[in-house]
Amino acid sequence: MEALKQELKEKIIDILNLEDIKLEEINDNDPLFGDGLGLDSIDALELIVMLDKDYGIKLVDPKEGKTIFQSIETMAAYIKENRTK
Amino acid sequence: MLDNKTYIQSFCTIQNNEIILDGASIFKLEPTTFLDFSKKAYQYFEINYSKFFKMDNLSKLAFLGAELLLENEINNTKENNIALVFANKSSSLDTDVKYQNSISDAENYFPSPAVFVYTLPNICLGEISIRHQLKSENSFFIFDAFNSAFMTNYAKVLLDSNKADKVLCGWVEYFDEEYKAFLYLVGREGNLEHKIETVLTEYNK
Amino acid sequence: MTKEVYITETNCITPIGFDVATNIKNIIGSVSGIQLHQNTDLMKMPFYASIINDEAINSAFAKITSAENNTRLEKMMILALQPIVEKSKLDERTGFILSTTKGNITALKNPSSDNFQKAHLGQLAKNIADFFGFTTEPIVVSNACVSGILAVSVAKRLIQAGMFDNIFIVAGDEVSEFVLSGFNSFQAMSDSPCRPYSKNRNGVTLGEATAAVLVSSNKKNAKIKIIGDGSINDANHISGPSRTGEGLFRSIESALTEAKINANQIDYISAHGTATSFNDEMEAIAFNRLGLENIPVNSLKGFYGHTLGASGLLETVIGIESVLESKLFASLGFDEIGVSQSINIINKNEDKEMNYFLKTASGFGGCNTAVLFEKVK
């Protein structure tokens, strides 16, 4: 799962245009939204697209995103469990 | 009779990899992409606003011009009633084409919300408003070419009716690496009288 | 002394009528333009939307002209404008404003430099202006979903600036794959006809329409007077509205100050009511902050869906009829109140004498517009 977490950190920086953030600065358990990385509602929607596009996971209820995207750790765990790609 | 004359207080042009403020060139690069030019300008002027990198090209262009003109204008201790009146020819077409590309291939169909949100030209006004906390009059117009008669009349009406204390007027055109931004701040004091001909002359310099 | 400005002519082209009278008849009869559509050119899955019948557009258009090269949206716009332009002489004191968010965006489906040109909003305006023979430079208002009502405000301001005496406005947008997919990516589309202000609302239903008005300094035959306006940004977020409704609050306040009336004098509010969770909640908060919580309010999105660049003007046209006929129309689609602060949603059609009516709209980019109207005595 380490490789997946690393991959997710790279993807997030790229997809969400986090130009100022370095890979090393993102900790596995840091909150992604709110105070942590400061992602917003549009970022959450983009992550939902990423789940589908890169991992073949279609979120039935977008509200699930809140728990899935809490941190890199929770994202990686969810993807490992549900990926079809 | 009250003097309701208005004045151009400062102006800025961004085109051909160069930024000119009040007639002086303050930043210039060898020909490069707008992505590169805008990033280097952001770094050079030490802007420090990470949301910049989420913006589309039109918003980056408008944001940079507004940043330089408003830097010394904004009073952080009180509200700044600076209206935003912007226009261009291509609307958000540069981003529209990018968004269309993300939905054109049925096999690779992944509409992007982060791209879609920028498929409206007035979003750049929202970005400027958020950055400078301008809870003010905002409107975006489309013309085939810079329409100084309209801009001058509309800015004057906002000032004369006290709907704004100042007006930041802007022509921000961007399409496929071709861009020109001409922004100017209009207020009740200053040296350069705000008239249709004056505005057009400065635009054409 | 500031000039007085009026709306003297109105018209609209919608799925529930190609003139104002037919639209009003259907609104009173609770007939909605929203239906379930299955059109894989627009969306893979079936979807609810309010869409105008192509044959109806083409046959109505053929009745007024033999012109062949206009796009579908242009035909809709020309049909809306035609009955009110044909009564007037167009000169250099006559302005022309076109309001749209995406215009001929469907031209982008086949990318080419010709089609990029076709997609330019200035080109759209020129095509409409040339059809009728407007002699002044067209002005396009493209400011997200407030465009239609902002155009009314802009027209009033330009007439008061002395730039024009009369200004024709046409507003329109189409339901397109471009916009459907975009709203879908925002998870903002309802899976059933939209329910403004309701507890179980879950998003917008898109729609298409065109509307046209004549704004004039000439009081003769005036339908209503434009007495105040405001278009103030939230300065909060580019896609979500301010939680305190700050921009809408200030826009309405600006209009009230200009009109020199108090909030409690407003008789009816035609609000934006898109049926997203955030928009409707924001409006309820803004209205309460102004003490407007008891003023009868409706959203017309239950009849027309969200018609984007047309919505502000179309809903104003219907609002004017409300005032002229002294009738409040029920907010179709509303069932159980679902906003945190109470507002007075019009539940069924009723009679009411009205003097002052407020039209509001909000849109992407944090924009808001409020315009106050007064019945002409």
Residue pointed to by tokens 């059933």: C192
Check CB contact under 8 Å for B84 and C233.
Answer: yes
* Mean pLDDT of chain C, nearest integer: 97
Question: Which chains have at least 3 CB atom pairs separated by less than 8 Å from chain A?
Answer: B, C
The verdict on pTM exceeding 0.95 is yes
- pLDDT tens for C178-201 read 999 999 999 999 999 999 999 999
CB C280 within 8 A of CB C252: no
Q: Name the CATH topology of C226-375.
A: Peroxisomal Thiolase; Chain A, domain 1 (3.40.47)
Closest residue to C139, CB basis, from B111, B150, B158: B150
For residue C155, which of C76, A73, C163, B174 has the smallest C-alpha distance? C163
Q: Using CA coordinates, name the residue in chain A closest to B49.
A: A20
Could you give the CA distance from residue B147 to residue B165 in angstroms, rounded to a whole number?
22
Residue C317, both tokens:
């046209």
pLDDT at C37 over 80: yes
> Which residue in A46, A52, A54 has the most chain B C-beta atoms within 10 A of its own C-beta, making it the best mutation to test that interface?
A46
Architecture of the domain delimited by C5-216: 3-Layer(aba) Sandwich (3.40)
Residues of C engaging A, defined by a Cβ cutoff of 8 Å: 185-187, 237-240
pLDDT at A60: 78
Record: contact B111-A43, CB cut-off 8 A: no
Q: Does pLDDT of C20 surpass 70? A: yes
Q: How far apart are CA B84 and CA C199, in angstroms?
A: 36
Nearest beta carbon to residue B112 from set A20, A21, A46: A46
Fold exhibited by the domain A2-82: 1.10.1200
With beta carbons under 8 A apart, name residues in chain A contacting C240.
41
- For A69, residues 6+ apart whose C-beta sits below 8 A from its C-beta are A32, A33, A39, A44, A47, A75
The verdict on A40 touching C (C-beta cutoff 8 Å) is yes
Asked if A42 and C239 come within 8 Å (Cβ–Cβ), the reply is yes
Is A19 within 8 Å of B50 when comparing Cβ atoms?
yes
Alpha helices, DSSP H only, in chain B? 34-44, 57-70, 93-104, 113-116, 123-132, 148-160, 196-204
Interface test with B, best of C100, C114, C121 (most B CBs within 10 A): C121
Mean pLDDT computed over C325-333: 98
Cβ-based contacts of B118 with chain A (< 8 Å): none
**Which other chains touch chain C, taking contact as 3+ CB pairs less than 8 Å apart?**
A, B
Q: What number is the average pLDDT over the span C223-230?
A: 98
What gap in Å lies between CA C340 and CA A56, rounded to an integer? 38
Q: Where along chain C do the CATH 3.40.47.10 domains lie?
A: 5-216, 226-375
Of A25-39, C111-125, C126-140, C215-229, which range is least confident?
A25-39
CA distance C239 to chain A (A): 8
User: Per CB distance under 8 Å, which residues of A are interface residues toward B?
Assistant: 16-21, 42-43, 45-46, 49, 52-53
CATH class, domain B7-204, is alpha beta
What is the rounded average pLDDT of the residues C326-336?
Answer: 97
Chain A residues close to B112, C-beta within 8 Å: 46, 49
How far, in Å, CA of C1 to CA of C195, rounded? 44
What does the alpha-carbon distance between residue A4 and residue A9 come to, in Å, rounded to a whole number?
A: 9
Of residues C186, C237, C238, nearest to A45 (C-beta): C186
Spell out the domain ranges in chain A: 2-82
**Tens of pLDDT, residues B63-113:** 999 999 999 888 888 889 999 999 999 999 999 999 999 999 888 899 999
The two tokens of residue C354 are: 């009205």
Q: Which two tokens stand for residue C39?
A: 């059109």
B82 Cβ contact list (under 8 Å, min separation 6)? B70, B73, B132, B134, B136, B164, B165, B166, B167, B168, B185
C-alpha distance from B117 to closest chain A C-alpha (Å)? 9
The Cβ-side half-sphere exposure at C31, using a 13 Å CA radius, reads 11
Cβ within 8 Å of B, C 310-369? 363-367
Per-residue pLDDT, A34? 80
| Average of per-residue pLDDT across B172-194 | 96
Instruction: Please state, rounded to an integer, the average pLDDT across all residues of chain B.
Output: 95
- Confidence label for C133 from pLDDT (cuts 50, 70 and 90): very high
Q: Which range is least confidently modeled, B140-144, B195-199, C7-11, C234-238?
A: B195-199
Q: At what angle do helices B196-204 and B148-160 cross, to 10 degrees?
A: 130
**Tens digit of each residue's pLDDT (9 = 90 or more) over A63-80:** 888 899 999 999 999 999
Domain boundaries, chain B: 7-204
3-state DSSP helix/strand/coil percent for chain C, to nearest 5? 35, 25, 40
Answer whether B53 sits within 8 Å of A19, measured CB to CB. Answer: yes
Which of B109, B110, B118 is the best substitution to test chain A (most A C-beta atoms within 10 A)? B110
Q: Token pair of C49, please?
A: 């939307």
pLDDT tens figures, C245-303: 999 999 999 999 999 999 999 999 999 999 999 999 999 999 999 999 999 999 999 99
pLDDT at residue B3, as a whole number? 64
Which of the four pLDDT bands, split at 50, 70 and 90, describes residue B2? Answer: low
**Percent of all residues in chain C with a pLDDT value above 70, rounded to a whole number:** 100
State whether B122 and C142 contact (CB < 8 Å): yes
Give me the residues of C, 61-120, that contact B with CB < 8 A. 101-103, 105, 108-109, 111, 116, 119-120
ipTM above 0.95, yes or no: yes
* Partner-chain contact B110 A53, CB within 8 Å: yes
**pLDDT at B1 > cutoff 80:** no
Q: Which of A19, A21, A58 to mutate to test the interface with B (most CBs of B within 10 A)?
A: A19
Q: Is the pLDDT of residue C76 over 70?
A: yes
Calculate mean pLDDT across residues C221-242. 96
> Which run of H or of E encompasses B81?
none
Substitution target from A11, A20, A39 for chain B, most B beta carbons within 10 A = A20
